[in-house]
Each structure stands twice: as C-alpha cells, then as structure tokens.
C-alpha cells in the first residue's frame, strides 16, 4: 500500500460547496492532505438536471467504489418526477447498513439543556437499509395502501455487531436496544432477539432494551443516562433528529453511513437554499462528519487536533449567524474555519480536550470489488412445514358475507376457515359491532383437524387461492408456515 488513501468528494448543492471548501481548507491545514487525495465526483442537482434519475454519474459510482469512502455535502432532492434522494440511493447501492450519529454538548452552543446544566454525550446507531425504507408499497384496493416492513436476521446482526464494536472502540459501557416489540412482536421482536444474541460476543458491554416511546420521553427528561442506542430504520430516523435538537440542531450532529465496503460521511442538514451563496453557512456538521471519516480511515491524530481546535474556537465565542451569543458579531464560513485553523495544536480549557493518539497514517484499505451480490444468512437448517395461508381480498362485502363465501370455497379442501380480519382486527368468527371495516380483508385458512403439518407443500394453498380468485380479487397472499414447530405468523388483534 502506498500509505495514501483516496476519498471521493461530492461537494453538494446550495451551501454544499461553501462548507465543503471551508472544511477542506481546515483539513489541509491539519495535514490530512499529506495522507489523502480528495477526488471530486459529480452528484446532485446538475446530474438530475441532465435526466439521470439516480443523481450520480457512472464515473462518480466507479470512483466511489474504488475509494470506499465518500465525503459528501448536502444535495437537493428534486420535488416530483422520478428523481430519488441521493442519500437513500447511495446507502442502498453500497449497502451502508449502519448509520452512526453522535450527539455532544458543544461549548458556545447554547440550548435549553446547557442552560439546565445537562451534559449530553451519546451515539445512535440506526439500521439503514431495511424496515419500511425498502419502499415496497402497493395499492391493494380502492381504499387501502400497504408498505411492507422488512426486517431480516442477518440485517439485524450486522447493525448490532457494528453498534457493539463502535461502543467498544469508543469505550462505552452500555448499549440500549430500542424497539416496539410489544406491538410488532415478530419484526421488532427479531431485532431485539438478535441484539441479545449478538451481545453475547461483547460480554464487557452492559445491555438494556427500551420501548421507543419510553425512549423518547427519557431522552428529553434525562439524556445523560444513554451512551449508545441501536434502533430499526424508521424509529432511528425520527429519534436521531430528536437527539440533534438536544444539542442545538442538525448543524451540530454529524453522521456516518457505514458499510462493509463503502462508507459515506455527510452533514445531516439540507442545502439551505435561503442562505446559499452568501458565505454565512455553518460548516460544523460537515467538519464533525469529516472527523468521523478521518477516524474511520485511521487518521486519528489529525482528527483529534481538529476537534480540539474546533472546541477551543467554539468556547471562545466565535460563531456563524445560526447560533452563538448575540453579543458577539457572527462571522462568515471562511472566517469561522480560519479561527479553527489558528487554534490547531491548541486545546479547549472549559471542556475536556480530546486525547491525541499517535496514530496518524491511514489504516483504511480500499475495498475489493465483490464478484457478485453476497447472500448473508443467520438461520440455516430450520425445519419448515406449510400449515395454511392468508389470502387478502379487495371487497366491500360485510364480514359475514365474506365468511359465507370462504366457508364454501374451502369445503372439500384440506383447509378450514379460521379467521377473517380487517385492518388487523378480527371480525370473524367473533368481532365487535364497533369495528369499522374497509374494503380489504385478510382471510386465514389453516389445516383441518387430522391433516398433519408437512403432509403437502404450498401448491395446495395456491390451488385454494385460485378458487378464491374465481369469485374475488385476490390482492396478495402469504404462506403460513411453522419454523422448527413455532408459528411463523402473528395472530390477529382479538384472536
Ligand atoms: P435545510 O436543512 O436545508 O434548511 C432548514 C433551515 O436550516 C434553513 O433555514 C437553513 O438556512 C438552515 N440551515 C441548514 N443548514 C445550515 C447551515 N449549515 N448553516 C446555517 N443554517 C443552516 O432543510 P430544507 O430547507 O428542508 O431542505 C432544503 C433542501 O435540502 C431540499 O432540497 C432537501 O431535499 C435537501 N436536503 C438534503 C439533505 C442531505 O443531502 N443530507 C438533508 C435534508 C434536506
């Protein structure tokens, strides 16, 4: 290895180029460029405008894949049309499965918490690929739309392992798993089960779990009790922005999207079109994200020097217009960064300085391109048996009419009708007259008494669905199976 690393650099739109240039000036002054080459790549608005719906050129993709590191500024997501958020595209394209965000009270950044004497210092790891962010959505009937929530065991394992490894590296003693497993017993239940399983490899780290609604209250009431929290994607997305609010807003909350091969480091705020081009944007979030990247790459000494200089600058009261004391005039982006450069080698005095390690050369290795998509597995050799199916219907009929039709359909089959539900609530064989139904039913067929699980495969279920489809619009179908004897499906509310 040459000892140098290459980092793909996408400055972004709006204030992106202003804060990126300022950040690179700081990095250069701290000696980062002695070990790293920043290679500009084309991503964002200009690429969307050329009709590329991914928002990144093929060359940008190639360079990023070679580098394994992408440092990016905020990018505009086109409203309407086919253009998708580059941030989401990049995370999925490169399987950046863990989003690490750090929340720290900073000197000179006044919040209700600093005024109340609370010191905040914790991290969130959010699963970044699965959950409802798969974007698997369908219109099922006139009135019903579905978004599939996908949670996989290997996906959970990867994100939990990353969280524990990050806790170990950061010297944290406790990791919380946040979830809603009391309601989503199977999906969030799996997320929690895998957390417990993976935690066994990290016996020195204390663990706890917390339901996400209680977590939100505890974060607001007593944020000091947390060191690291790991969450599924959607819950993590919401909670991490809440946490940014605890430390002064998105301008102070850096973010890293970590993958096995490629990792992306970005500011979490947007392109701030209202102040773009005026040279007044706050580059702190991008600088902090860059520090996460330098540490990921092994440039630990440079990162510590920059962080200490940033803390010293903030405590001296230097600030951009979006934060800081009104008694002291705000400075522009470049002057803010020059104030940090002046303090390189110095340390803050009112808060703890960051220890400066000796490690100052890259430990990061550019990734090898995989030959093909990799299949990852957690559970193997599980014995599965077909025990029935759920058939989903688009119909405005009443529950009792649906039940009469379905009872006839399965008369001479190995199945019996066991349940009809509407929006997850059982409406047959028992139900409440207060349940309001919409035009989308789940009809559950299970094996008749005396038919042994495993006596046939799924073709009998498909044949049953065919029969149902002669009379109804079947929107979708789910096979019911047992896995090592345990039910692989949930019960309806009220069942
Ligand atoms: P925004 O974060 O750009 O702006 C919200 C408010 O915060 C504005 O008043 C802005 O001036 C201020 N602000 C944001 N960053 C600042 C900074 N560094 N210094 C000083 N003030 C700052 O959010 P908005 O307006 O909702 O989105 C604008 C565009 O950014 C949209 O096209 C959106 O798609 C995109 N966006 C991109 C993100 C990314 O690339 N990571 C994240 C969020 C939004």
**3-class SS of residue 58:** helix
331 and 400 inside one domain: no
pLDDT, position 1 = 45
Q: Is 273 in the pocket of ligand 1 (CB under 6 A)?
A: yes
The CATH number assigned to the domain holding 75 equals 3.40.718.10
Q: Is residue 10 part of a domain?
A: yes
pLDDT for residue 495 is more than 80 = no
Average pLDDT, the chain: 94
Q: Is 188 in the pocket of ligand 1 (CB under 6 A)?
A: no
Instruction: Write the residue with the smallest CA distance to atom 27 of ligand 1.
Output: 270
Instruction: Write the residue with the smallest CA distance to atom 22 of ligand 1.
Output: 272
Q: Is residue 250 part of a domain?
A: yes
pLDDT for residue 454 is more than 90 = no
Q: Is residue 58 part of a domain?
A: yes
Q: For 354-390, what is each residue's pLDDT tens digit?
A: 999 999 999 999 888 999 988 999 999 999 999 999 9
Q: For 396-435, what is each residue's pLDDT tens digit?
A: 999 999 999 999 999 999 999 999 999 999 999 999 999 9
Token digits for 46? Answer: 């200009």
Instruction: Write the residue with the smallest CA distance to atom 25 of ligand 1.
Output: 272
Residues of the chain with pLDDT > 70, as a percent, come to: 99
Query: Last residue of some domain: 286, 317, 342?
Result: 342
Q: Is 454 in the pocket of ligand 1 (CB under 6 A)?
A: no
Q: Which atom of ligand 1 is nearest to the CA of 266?
A: 41
33 and 135 inside one domain: yes
Which range among 207-211, 321-325, 399-403 shows the weakest confidence by mean pLDDT?
321-325
| pTM given for the model | 0.93
Average of per-residue pLDDT across 7-13: 97
Residue-by-residue DSSP string for 100-169: EEEEE--TT---HHHHTTPPPEEEEEEE-SSBGGG--EEE-SSS-EEE--B--HHHHHHHHHHHHHHHHH
**3-class SS of residue 316:** coil
pLDDT, position 327 = 87
Q: Is 13 in the pocket of ligand 1 (CB under 6 A)?
A: no
Check: CB of residue 232 under 8 Å from CB of residue 221: no
* pLDDT bucket at 53, cuts 50 / 70 / 90: confident
Q: Which atom of ligand 1 is nearest to the CA of 75?
A: 40
Q: Is residue 157 part of a domain?
A: yes
Instruction: Write the residue with the smallest CA distance to atom 18 of ligand 1.
Output: 282
Q: Is residue 354 part of a domain?
A: no
CA of 270 to the centre of ligand 1 (A): 3
Secondary structure percentages of the chain, helix, strand, coil, to 5: 35, 20, 45
Residues of the chain with pLDDT > 90, as a percent, come to: 87
Task: Kindly compute the dihedral angle of the four CA atoms of residues 254, 111, 302, 297, in this order, to the nearest 10 degrees.
Answer: -20
CA of 221 to the centre of ligand 1 (A): 28
β-strands 206-211, 174-179 pairing: parallel
Q: Is residue 348 part of a domain?
A: no
* pLDDT bucket at 251, cuts 50 / 70 / 90: confident
Domain assignment of residue 394, given as a range: 384-487
The CATH number assigned to the domain holding 416 equals 3.30.70.1570
Q: Is residue 41 part of a domain?
A: yes
CA of 268 to the centre of ligand 1 (A): 8
pLDDT for residue 2 is more than 60 = no
Which range among 180-184, 284-288, 370-374, 408-412 shows the weakest confidence by mean pLDDT?
370-374
Give the count of domains, the chain.
Answer: 2
In angstroms, rounded to a whole number, what is the distance separating the alpha carbons of residues 105 and 351? 10
119 and 31 inside one domain: yes
Q: 442 Cβ partners below 8 Å, 6+ apart?
A: 390, 391, 392, 419, 420, 421, 422, 424, 492
Check: CB of residue 181 under 8 Å from CB of residue 191: yes
* Unique residue bearing structure tokens 């990799």: 374
């Amino acid at each position: 290895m040459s000892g140098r690393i290459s980092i793909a650099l996408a400055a972004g739109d709006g204030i992106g180029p202003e804060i990126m240039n300022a950040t690179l000036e700081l990095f250069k002054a701290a000696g980062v460029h002695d070990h790293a080459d920043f290679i500009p790549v084309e991503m964002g608005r200009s690429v969307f405008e050329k009709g590329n719906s991914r928002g990144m050129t093929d060359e940008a993709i190639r360079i990023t894949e070679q580098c394994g590191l992408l440092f990016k500024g905020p990018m505009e997501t086109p409203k309407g049309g086919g253009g998708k958020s580059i941030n989401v595209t990049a995370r999925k394209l490169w399987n950046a499965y863990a989003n690490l965000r750090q929340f720290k009270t900073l000197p000179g950044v006044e919040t209700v918490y600093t005024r109340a004497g609370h010191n905040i210092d914790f991290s969130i790891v959010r699963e970044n690929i699965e959950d409802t962010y798969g974007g698997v959505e369908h219109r099922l009937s006139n009135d019903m739309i579905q978004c599939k929530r996908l949670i996989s065991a290997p996906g959970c394992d990867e994100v939990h392992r990353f969280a524990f490894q990050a806790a170990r590296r950061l010297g944290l003693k406790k990791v919380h798993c946040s979830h809603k497993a009391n309601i989503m017993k199977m999906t969030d239940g799996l997320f929690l089960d895998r957390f417990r399983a993976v935690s066994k490899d990290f016996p020195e780290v204390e663990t706890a779990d917390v339901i996400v609604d209680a977590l939100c209250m505890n974060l607001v009431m007593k944020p000091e009790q947390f060191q690291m929290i790991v969450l599924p994607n959607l819950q993590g997305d919401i909670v991490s922005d809440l946490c940014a609010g605890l430390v002064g807003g998105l301008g102070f909350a850096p973010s890293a999207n970590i993958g096995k091969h490629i990792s992306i480091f970005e500011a979490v705020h947007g392109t701030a079109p209202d102040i773009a081009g005026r040279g007044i944007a706050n580059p702190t979030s991008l600088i902090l994200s860059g520090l996460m990247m330098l540490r990921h790459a092994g440039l630990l000494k440079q990162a510590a020097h920059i962080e200490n200089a940033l803390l010293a600058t903030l405590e001296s009261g230097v600030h951009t217009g979006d934060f800081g004391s009104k008694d002291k005039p705000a400075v522009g982006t470049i002057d803010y960064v020059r104030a940090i450069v002046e303090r390189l080698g110095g340390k803050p005095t009112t808060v703890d300085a960051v220890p400066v390690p000796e490690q100052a050369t890259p430990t990061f290795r550019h990734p090898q391109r995989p030959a093909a998509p990799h299949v990852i597995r957690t559970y193997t050799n599980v014995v599965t048996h077909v025990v029935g199916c759920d058939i989903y219907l688009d119909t405005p009929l009443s529950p009792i009419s649906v039940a009469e039709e379905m009872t006839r359909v399965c008369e001479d089959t190995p199945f019996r009708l066991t349940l009809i539900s509407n929006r997850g609530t059982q409406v047959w064989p028992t139900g409440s007259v207060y349940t309001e139904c919409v035009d989308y039913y789940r009809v559950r067929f299970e094996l008749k008494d005396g038919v042994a699980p495993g006596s046939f495969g799924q073709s009998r279920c498909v044949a049953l669905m065919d029969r149902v489809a002669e009379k109804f619009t079947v929107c979708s179908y789910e096979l019911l199976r047992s896995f090592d004897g345990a039910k692989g499906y949930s019960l309806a509310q009220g069942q």
